C-alpha cells in the first residue's frame, strides 16, 4: 500500500453515521478529487478495503461497521451503476447528427 493510500484510509471513518466527504479528504491531503477517487478505487479493488459512500445531504466515504451498512453502501453504488449503464446505452445508440437540431444558430456547427 502506498503512503497516500494509507493516509486516505486513516481519514475514512468506520460506520455510516459520520461519513467523510471526499472533497474534505482531498483538501486535507492537498490532492485533487480525481486523485482521491483513483486511490479509493485502488484501496477497494487492489487491497480489498470495503469503502462505500453515502450520497445526499450527509454524504461521504465510510467503511461499513456491519452488513446493514454494507448493503446500504452497495445499494447506493448499484443506483449509480444503473444510471451510468443508462448513459452508456444512450451513447451507444445516439445519432451523431440529430443533436444539431437543438441548436438554433447553425453558424457554430462545424463539419
Predicted confidence (pLDDT) per residue in 17-69, tens digit? 999 999 999 999 999 999 999 999 999 999 999 999 998 888 999 999 999 99
Q: Is the pLDDT of residue 111 over 70?
A: no
User: Beta 52-54 vs 60-62: how paired, if at all?
Assistant: antiparallel
> pTM of this prediction?
0.79
- Domain segments of the chain as ranges: 3-93
The model's pLDDT over 63-100, given as tens digits with 9 standing for 90+, comes to: 999 999 999 999 989 998 999 999 999 999 999 999 88
What's the CA angle centered on 60, arms 62 and 3, to 5 degrees? 60
Considering the segment(s) 3-93 as one domain, its CATH architecture is Orthogonal Bundle (1.10)
Query: Residue 40 — φ and ψ, nearest 5°?
Result: -65, -40
Amino acid at each position: 500500500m502506498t503512503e497516500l493510500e494509507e493516509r486516505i484510509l486513516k481519514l475514512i471513518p468506520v460506520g455510516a453515521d459520520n461519513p467523510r466527504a471526499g472533497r474534505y479528504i482531498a483538501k486535507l491531503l492537498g490532492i485533487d478529487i480525481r486523485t482521491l477517487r483513483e486511490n479509493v478505487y485502488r484501496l477497494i479493488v487492489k487491497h480489498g478495503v470495503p469503502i462505500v459512500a453515502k450520497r445526499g445531504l450527509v454524504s461521504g466515504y465510510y467503511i461499513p461497521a456491519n452488513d446493514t451498512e454494507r448493503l446500504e453502501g452497495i445499494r447506493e453504488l448499484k443506483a449509480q451503476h444503473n444510471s451510468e449503464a443508462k448513459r452508456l446505452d444512450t451513447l451507444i445508440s445516439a445519432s451523431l447528427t440529430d443533436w444539431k437540431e437543438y441548436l438554433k444558430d447553425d453558424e457554430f456547427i462545424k463539419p
